[in-house]
Chains A and B, each alone.
Chain A
Amino acid sequence: DTEVTQTPKHLVMGMTNKKSLKCEQHMGHRAMYWYKQKAKKPPELMFVYSYEKLSINESVPSRFSPECPNSSLLNLHLHALQPEDSALYLCASSLPGGELFFGEGSRLTVL
């Protein structure tokens, strides 16, 4: 059982839609991450929040907008996505210098 929960598990959206992915962790970790993973590729870092502040943005297009309402919650707001943005979006949390704990992911399809 994962201690990082993500919703929704599956999402289909059009290029003009606005949607959000949500992530919650109850491990007391002070860092949360968004990763994007395409088939047969490793996870690719998008954003890191540490102590509720954005600390790393891997030059992600502005159509992806992260938000960290508190230390347990992380959102990823999606707007005007492209079909090539279809992927598995993984949320993770960690202790400093420690291993990443991933949620089950949100599988996004952009039509």
Chain B
Amino acid sequence: RKEVEQDPGPFNVPEGATVAFNCTYSNSASQSFFWYRQDCRKEPKLLMSVYSSGNEDGRFTAQLNRASQYISLLIRDSKLSDSATYLCVAAPSGGYQKVTFGTGTKLQVIP
């Protein structure tokens, strides 16, 4: 079983739709969680950190459920520019350690 699992997709959604991605992690020692987006042939860019209380940034909402060991990302009112691969990341507490990437979920927003 992979340490961080994501549905690879692709998720093909029309503009304006709401789409949700889930990510599960198996290492209960993971303390910090992040969502990155990666455009084709570009570097990953941080989209959001994920907090236990949940956090929102414009059209994006991230949630963490420690009991069930999953993280979610909700995108409302999808734009064409949201088309990308979304990577879920779990990190151990503190220090400079190895983080674990999920395999990524591909989103394609269709006009």
Contacts and interface: CB of A to CB of B under 8 A. Distances in A.
A31 B92 CA distance: 15
What band does the interface of chain A fall in when counting residues whose beta carbon is under 8 Å from B? 20 to 34
Sorting the interface of chain B by its residue count into under 10, 10 to 19, 20 to 34 or 35 or more gives: 20 to 34
Q: Is the interface of B mostly helix, strand, loop or mixed?
A: loop
Given A42-B87, A48-B98, A99 B103 contact: no
Nearest to A33: B96
Nearest to A4: B43
A1 B46 CA distance: 13
Contact of A101 (B32, B46, B49, B93): B46
Interface of B: 31-32, 34, 41-46, 49, 87, 89, 91-99, 101-104
Interface of A: 2, 30-31, 41-43, 45, 48, 50, 55-56, 58, 88, 90, 94, 96-105, 107
